Structure formats: structure tokens, C-alpha cells
Amino acid sequence: QTAYRSVVEKLPAYFATRPLVPMEDSEPQSLFDVLRAPAVAAPGSLREQLDLIRIKWRRLIGESLDRLLSIAGEILQEEDLAIWLQFNPPNAAAEAAARAAAEAAAAAAAQRRRESGQQQWPSVVSRSEVPQFGDAVHETEKFSPDVAWMPGAVLIAKSTYVWLAQLSKRYQRSIHRLDQIPDEELDTLARRGMNSLWLIGIWERSRASQTIKQLCGNPDAVASAYSLFDYAIAEDLGGEPAYVNLRNRAYARGIRLASDMVPNHMGIDSPWVVEHPDWFISRQDSPYPAYNFDGPDLSQDPRVEIKIESHYYEQTDAAVVFRRRDRASGETRYIYHGNDGTSFPWNDTAQLDYLNPAVREQVIQTILHVARLFPVIRFDAAMTLAKRHFHRLWFPGPGSSGAIPSRAEYGMSSAEFNAHMPHEFWREVVDRVAAEVPGTLLLAEAFWLMEGYFVRTLGMHRVYNSAFMNMMRDEENAKYRSVLKNTLEFDPDIMKRYVNFMSNPDERTTIDQFGDGDKCFGVTAMMATLPGLPMFGHGQIDGFTEKYGMEYRRPRYDETPNHWLVERHEREIAPLLHQRALFAESSNFLLYDFFNDNGTVDENVFAYSNRRGDQRGLVLYNNRYSTTKGTVDWSAAYADKHSGQLRQQRLKDGLGLSGDAAIILGYRDSLTGLEYLRRASTTAEQGLRIELRAYQCHVFLDWREMRATADKPWDRLCDELNGRGVANLEDELINLALRPGHDALRRLLDPALVRTLSELSEHPQAAKGSEKQKNIERQKEEFLETAWTRSQDFLHESQLAYRAHTGERLAVRPTNPALLAEKFRKRVLAAMDIPALESLFPTPWNVGARRLLPSLSPELIATAIWGPVLSWCVLELLAESIDAQKPERMALDLFDRLRLREPLAHSFSALGFEGEESWRAAARIKALLVEAEVSRASGTTALPERAETGPTNGVAASVIATSAAPSKAPGEQKQASPTFSPILWHDADVRWLTGVHEAQGRTYFVKESYEELIWWLQLPVLRKLASKAVPDRSAIVELSTAIKEALGAAASAEYRLDVLLGSDKPEADARRPV
């Protein structure tokens, strides 16, 4: 009913007749259109309308009005954020549900990756970007120098209360004070390569923080480790005396203690808040009318009342301030909670005001106090106090507010802010600590691409490098290689100041992010060998899966260390950590490109080298589930700080190696223990060519340059190995010298020849003088001639090798085979007649006998049975040819000195043994030689061919004395009849072959394995019996009885070794090696 609508409808026409308003970047417009344009363009957002006014009307409104509009827009942005926080509070149940859902999704994804052959644990939380370093002119170089111990530092984090609870469980006693931490635990840390121990949550914590967490549903909570009451060692941890006790014991083991310092804020009930409220960022009024503070009073000091905003208890809002009221004066302040602008405020903390000089000095004095106690200090959230970020968060300049709601109205220009805070706080801290507490390592938790600035310009000794964790986990390999390249091209000295980690207290656990397989250990090996400071998380080595909250008093999961992971760490990673002096510095560090055969760089491979004096290390790791082949030769570019130019080096120069064609390079892989040879000239001209399996890592150490000599033909061995790694190069040289003998042995045990032996032994008897008999005899002669020729080669090469290694003269010259040929013939022919003896035994041979001894009904293929028999015959002959007086002892010496176990096992594998059975067959030959030597030394018997009679008519010593009183049941505690000499049980092969093992504090052996060995040890006796034209039936009966009694004695002893040996105690003296 007014004229408004009709007047408005006429306004466009009216203003079209008036002078137009000139506009930037557009045609002149009428005043009506200019005023109406922001509302038309953004009808739903006042903030966007203000932004459009500032852009479109810039020339019209002037600088002062533009700043007021900017502040107004930022206040609107903060209100948007505050509204979002109100409707998206840190609800504990919702957060737990979201975390559980994320973990379930991650587990399902991991299962899919495993099923598809992948092994990746992509992040669902943190990400990193490749740093682009600042202008060297403005970010001046002012590194803090290290003292001697700092480069080798290796840090492990421990959540103190949780750790003490775990130690109490492990040691089965109450451990709740620092001075109660066992020395064994410190020894373990030192053994695993840790020399710095970060004790998280060691300071006296805020009582208000604990109350808040308990009121919010966690009755077992302690306060947050980062909401501090005071910088005094917590009384419930034993206070400073207990800390000093631990510090001294740790230092005696080479371990320095580290602590947090939380400079950004204090607990809301700390004495600083009570006595110096002006040290904190505050305001006189509540920033938002919806806030109310009618919850419980959290102050235990009667001078003040402290309340947090009530909606926090209900988990329906996350206020940016808490209320402090002075009871005496009635003054009320609304103090801001600590906040980094990335998430919710830390509602149990109070934000310090670094524009206040008194605050800066108080914090520096506190840092100096901490430094006098701890040689390593970690500064929590250090980046929030860098000038640019403290300005942005708390006193935002034009266009930079909105990170923390309600702070836009306190904004300052750069000039205004610099007037209040002219210098970087951290630079002052570094200089003061260096002057007053020198030798303190300062470590900054800094993100937001400020890593280089914190160490190079602000002077921190070390800085977090979260890109290592995030990019290696997500296999963003090209990105992380760019991190390394950018660092090296800007300033290589930054590299040595990175703190590399795979987890930290704010992140998922290592096993959650990296798994527990080759990827985990490959990345850990990188962490241990890159320049900088390796940092291990709580539970990382043990394989614990729980992420410990900062308020945890004890772990919630009942976990025990994964001994497989611990053992692998101690085998592979700990030795690298003990060599940190080689890897820690960056002055000789080089990163290499890994070129595939097609000339492209494989960005998934990390290849780098380092040097320290004459020590050299080369590391290669493939961080991808795929196999790759390529060459490492040229390094990536790095800044030569002396010339100011970028340089590259070749691998030989990076490692300081010679290119002399006569030099052979030797080196060792620290992870596998394998050693390698390579010609220096090949490395100099072509680099190092290598194949890497999925997540495979090599750490090549102990580089040495060697020249070939007559005694040590390294060149021959290098060509023989052709890049293959071996357990020991010196041993391999010996194997090279022994190879002619080993090759001769393999020819003797050729499957075709052994098959002929087995077939001739199984022929039924033919009529004497018949054509069939003549044919069999002819085949035997052909076999014996061939077998002897090959045996003679083996004897000849073995005698030469033995003489070369000992210098001893031989009893029989290898050039006179006639002295040995007849013995060989007789023994082999006698062995071929053993199968015929089986029918003469009173009872049939059991399975154990027929699995090992020549039989007409063998349990194994015949070649697997005859190969060991033929080997034993020839070894006997070899021993007699060298020492006719004591051939038994010589046979044992030859078996070990000539390293016959491996060629025998390989030959037996070709004869039909599967898996480790070929090695067991070789061990049985050794056991037979041990039995013969034990018999000779005790005077029980001798080799049958040299003793016509004996106390048991040639029965093996293993079954002597079976006619003694029969064994009683174990409960009767009577002595059982011995089966073979107790000395024989000392032998490791005998124990392995009989399956000796512990169970419930007693020592047992395996029935079937023992029976097999008993029968096998009768081989000399059986061959002697078979050598007779008419076998001695009474001797066969005696042998059968002795074996039966021996097996019965074992059964009566219930296969307990201590009972069999006649002792009530476990067979302690039967553990000694022969």
C-alpha cells in the first residue's frame, strides 16, 4: 500500500538518464546497476557480496573503507566457521564411529590389495606436499652446528604412563616410577640401536584436563600430555629424583633422554593462567552469545574460577575461549584456547600471547630450565610460533583471517605486527640455548612447508620430515624423490637435519600404515640409512597395533611383542643404526637415478650413497610391488656450495672407488649378510646393474679393493660368481680351490652310475657258469672299472686339496692307484651283497632299516639308498690313503676340511632325496664317521676289515652293552641300558638326526628317527658279514638281538634322553660339542 514498488520500478529508467559510473574491467554502468550488482551476483552470501564490492568498487571506496570491508568479510567467514563447529563438534561417539568405519574400510581395502598381489597401506589421514624452498636471499643461512654426538642420534618415543604399564606386565611387578624402569629395558634399547629416549608426558599435567576427560566419559584418563600444569617432573612418576636416577642409568648405556616442550600454550588451570592472565590472548567479552559457562569450576586455586564452555561436555560445540573469573576483583576474561587453525581448539589449553615481551622471556627461561634437565628437546607445534603463522592465526592481516573464529577484529597489518614482534622468537631461543646450555639438541615439530626455514634460518638442529612417512606409505615415490632432489639442489645441509619417521604420536601406527612385511623393513632400512635423525614410534619395533591417546594411563589392547618382527629388527635394522656415523651426514650424500634398459628413470627405486672416511655405503630400495631391472651410475644434481653451481657425480666417484682393471671390488649386503664381487673397471665404466624384487632392499657396506694373487684368485672367483652373492668370500675362495674334488665326487655319484650299482645288487643269483651269470659278472666289472676311475679322480683331487691346505705328506701317493683299487673293489662288492643278508635275520627288517640300508624291498628308490653307501666306501678309502694308522680320525677331518657335506647333499638330491632329506643323508655319513672314531678311541671295536675279532664280533658300538639289566620305567629311576656311547650324543648331527628336543623341562628324541640311525650305524658290520663267503649266522642273530634290545631300551626310557643315559637330570653333559 506504499509507492515503494512503483518507485523502484522507475529507478532503472531514471538512473539511465544520469551520468554513468566508470568501472574497472567493464563498461560504465548506472549507479542503480552498480549498487544492485553484488546482491544479484551473490544473493545468498553477505560475505561474497562484500568481496564483490571490494573487487568492483576498489577505485571508488578507497583504502580505509576497503580495509573495513575486509574485516567485515572475515568476521562473516569466522562466523561461518563457528556455526560449522557448533553443528560439527568433536563428538566422542561420532569420532569413534568415524574412526572405526575408516579402519574397517582400510582393512577391507588392504585385504583386496593383498588378494590382488599388492602390498600398500594408503593413508586416510595425512598428506604431504613437495617443498619449494624460499629465496636464499631472504631466508639467510644460519645453521646451528652439531656437537659430536648429535649426528648419530636415533630417537624412540615412549608414552610414559603406557610404557610403565607395559613394563609392569612384562616384568610381573609394579613399575610406576621412572627409577623403577629396569636396567634390562635400557640395555634392550641400546642393543636395538636406540641412543635417545623421548619420554612423552613426563611433566606435571593439568588437573583440569584430567577432570574434563573424565567428565566426558573416560574415567581412567590422565590429563593430556600437552596440557601442562607446570614444567616439573610429575610427582606420580617419582619427581625429579626418579628422573635423575633414570637419566644417569640411561647415559651410562649411551642413551640420552628427550622431552617435549609445549611453547604454544599451557593448561587452563596452570599457575601462569592464575597469576598472569595477561600472558594469554584474551578478550573482555564472550565472542559469541550462544556460549555459556555454567559447567563445573575446574580451578583448584581459590583465587580464580575457571570454566570451559558448557556445550563441550555435551559434545555439541567446540568453543574458542574459556572463562577465567578473579574471585577477589570480579574481573572476567575470556581466554582463547590453544589452536593451530586446522581443526578444533584444544579445549584444555590456554593460548600464550607472543606479542607480549614478558611471555617471550618467560617461555625462554622455561626452555632453558628444560634444557638443563634434558639434552634433547622436542618443540611441539613449533610452526605456530613462526612470525608468519602467529600473525595469520591470531592477528590476521587483510585477507588472511578465518583460521580461528572471532580473531578478524584484532587484525594487524604486517607493519603493525612487526612493530610488536620484530624478530623470530625461535631464532632468539636457539641463540639463547646455544649460549647458556650448549650441547642441547633442539628438534622442531614443524609442518606447513617450513622444514627448511626452521633449520636453515631459524637454526633448529632437527625438524620433522612428515613427507617421508606420507609419501613412502602411499608410494608417491616420484614425489618423495622430488623432495630429496629439491633439498639437494637448494642446500644439501638441510638433509642431515630432517627427522625421518614412519609414525609419530599423532599418526596411525607403523604397522597400520606400512604392514609388517618387506615394505615395512625396506622403508625402515631407508630411515636408518638416510641423513638426518631416525625416529621410531612407541611399539614400532614390537609390532604393536594400538595408537595411544595422549590421555592414556595404560594401553587398552592386550598386546605382546611380535618376536618375529623384533628378531628381524635386531638382525637387519639394529646393525645399521649402530653405524649411523656413516649415514647421518649429508656432505657426501648422493641420490642416484635408476635407469631401466629402455633409458627411462624408474622413480620407484631409491638409490643413494654416503661416505665417511674409508667407510662407504650404497642403498637401493624398490618401493613398489613389482620387479625392476636397471643401472645405477649418475647421481641427481646437488648444490656445490663452494662454487655455487649444480653438480653430478658417477657412482665410482660417489663411493670413492678405483677404476683400475686389475682391482676387484668386494662388498657386503648388511641386510642378508651376502657378500659380492665386481670388477672395478666394470663399475667405473657402466655403474652397477641390478634387479630388485618387490619391496627389496640392499644396503651394501664394507667396500674394499682387492688384487688377485696365486693364493687368492679374486678375479677367477668374481667371474665364477657372476654377480651372485655368497655367505663368505673367503670361504668361497676355499670352495673354489675344492671345486675339482667336489666335481669329481658329483661325477662319481652320477645317477646313472648309481642306478647301475643298485640294479646289479638286486640281480637274483644265476647258475654258476651260465651265460646269465657271465653277463652279470661282465656288467659288474664294467661298473667297477668306471666307478674306480671316477673314485680315483676324487681321491687324487681330494689328496691334492688336503695337502694344499695342511702341507702334510700323504701316506699313499695318488700316482699308485694299485694299492687302493683292490680295497675299493672288495668293499663295493661286499656292500652289493648286503641285501642278501636280510633274509638271514630272525625277524624281517623294519621300515627304518629298509629306508636306509641296501635291501631287496627298499622303502626308497634304490639310487637314494646306494648313493650314501658308495660315498661312505670312497671316504673310508680316502682317509686310509692319507693316514693308514688312524683313518677314522682322518675321515672326520676330511669330511669337514674338504667341505664334503654340501656336494654330498646336492648329489643325493639328484639321486631321489627330497628337501632336507638330502642334507640328512649327508649328516648320516658324518654320524657314521663319528661312530667309527668313537669306537676307535674307546677301544670297543675297529673297522671290520682291520679287526678279525672283537668283543662283540664286530657288532657296532651303538648297540654294545644291551645285555645289561633291562631299563625300568622312568618313574622307577633305574639306569637304562645304553644304546650308543653317550659321547655320540654330543654330536650336533646325531642330535638333529634323532630329533632331540625339549618338552616340559625334559629332553626327548624321536622314536622313528632313532630307529633309523641305529640301523644305519650297522652298515660297517653288515658289510663285514656280507664279505664272507658263508655269512656267520650266529653273528647275524647276535646283531639282531642287540638291535632289538637297543630299541627296547629306548622304548623303556619313553624316549627320554636323560633316562636313556642313566641320569635323573636333563643330559647337561650331553650338550657339549664333540
Q: What is the pLDDT of residues 740-773, one digit of tens each?
A: 999 999 999 999 999 999 998 876 665 666 787 8
- Name the maximum alpha-carbon separation found in the chain: 145
- Yes or no: say if 865 and 758 are a contact pair by the CB < 8 Å rule: yes
Confidence of residue 1065 (pLDDT cuts 50, 70, 90): very low
When mean pLDDT is compared across 673-682, 979-988, 1049-1058, the lowest value belongs to 979-988
Residue-wise pLDDT for 985-1020, tens only, equals 889 999 999 999 999 889 999 999 999 999 999 999
More confident residue, 969 or 22: 22
More confident residue, 951 or 660: 660
222 contact partners, CB below 8 Å, separation of at least 6: 161, 201, 205, 210, 551, 552, 553
φ, ψ for residue 258 (rounded to 5)? -125, 150
Mean of the pLDDT values across residues 170-197?
97
- Yes or no: say if 680 and 704 are a contact pair by the CB < 8 Å rule: no
DSSP-derived 3-state class of residue 619: strand
377 has a pLDDT exceeding 50: yes
pLDDT for position 258: 98
819 has a pLDDT exceeding 80: no
pLDDT for position 971: 40
pLDDT for position 100: 55
Report the C-alpha gap between 160 and 243 in whole angstroms: 12
Confidence of residue 897 (pLDDT cuts 50, 70, 90): very high
What percent of the chain is modeled with pLDDT above 90? 67
549 has a pLDDT exceeding 70: yes
1066 has a pLDDT exceeding 70: no
pLDDT for position 840: 93
Confidence of residue 871 (pLDDT cuts 50, 70, 90): very high
- Distances in Å between the Cα of 972 and the Cα atoms of 968, 1048, 1067 are 6, 16, 18
960 has a pLDDT exceeding 60: no
Report the C-alpha gap between 936 and 738 in whole angstroms: 29
103 has a pLDDT exceeding 60: no
430 contact partners, CB below 8 Å, separation of at least 6: 144, 442, 458, 459, 460
pLDDT for position 88: 59
User: Of 155, 156, 180, 157, nearest to 167 (Cα)?
Assistant: 180
Mean of the pLDDT values across residues 825-841?
93
Distance of CA 425 to the CA centre of its chain: 38
Confidence of residue 653 (pLDDT cuts 50, 70, 90): very high
Burial label for 303, CB within 10 Å (0-12, 13-18, 19+), is exposed
Per-residue DSSP letter, 280: B
When mean pLDDT is compared across 1-10, 45-54, 469-478, the lowest value belongs to 45-54
113 has a pLDDT exceeding 70: no
pLDDT for position 885: 85
More confident residue, 1064 or 336: 336
640 contact partners, CB below 8 Å, separation of at least 6: 646, 647
The mean pLDDT of the chain is 87
Report the C-alpha gap between 620 and 586 in whole angstroms: 17
DSSP-derived 3-state class of residue 28: coil
DSSP-derived 3-state class of residue 707: strand
User: Of 508, 527, 383, nearest to 449 (Cα)?
Assistant: 383
When mean pLDDT is compared across 56-65, 423-432, 540-549, 825-834, the lowest value belongs to 56-65
User: Of 592, 599, 596, 700, nearest to 638 (Cα)?
Assistant: 592
pLDDT for position 613: 93
Mind listing the domains of the chain with CATH numbers?
Answer: 150-264+355-386+424-569 (3.20.20.80), 268-351 (no CATH), 588-727 (2.60.40.1180), 738-1071 (no CATH)
Report the C-alpha gap between 1012 and 923 in whole angstroms: 13
pLDDT for position 25: 72
Residue 559 in grid coordinates: 598386546
Confidence of residue 1071 (pLDDT cuts 50, 70, 90): very low
Report the C-alpha gap between 51 and 398 in whole angstroms: 12
Report the C-alpha gap between 266 and 349 in whole angstroms: 5
- Yes or no: say if 569 and 192 are a contact pair by the CB < 8 Å rule: yes
Confidence of residue 440 (pLDDT cuts 50, 70, 90): very high
pLDDT for position 43: 86
DSSP-derived 3-state class of residue 819: helix
pLDDT for position 1063: 61
953 has a pLDDT exceeding 60: no
Report the C-alpha gap between 457 and 430 in whole angstroms: 11
pLDDT for position 1068: 44
Residue 500 in grid coordinates: 625421518
Strand intervals (E) in 538-657: 590-595, 605-612, 615-622, 628-635, 638-640, 645-647
923 has a pLDDT exceeding 60: yes
Report the C-alpha gap between 431 and 452 in whole angstroms: 18
Count CB atoms within 10 A of the CB of residue 810.
Answer: 13
DSSP-derived 3-state class of residue 155: strand
Report the C-alpha gap between 195 and 152 in whole angstroms: 8
911 contact partners, CB below 8 Å, separation of at least 6: 749, 751, 754, 861, 863, 864, 867
pLDDT for position 1072: 39
- Yes or no: say if 787 and 760 are a contact pair by the CB < 8 Å rule: no
Mean of the pLDDT values across residues 615-640?
97
493 has a pLDDT exceeding 70: yes
Mean of the pLDDT values across residues 514-527?
97
CA dihedral of residues 770, 774, 779, 784 (deg, nearest 10): 130
Report the C-alpha gap between 788 and 795 in whole angstroms: 10
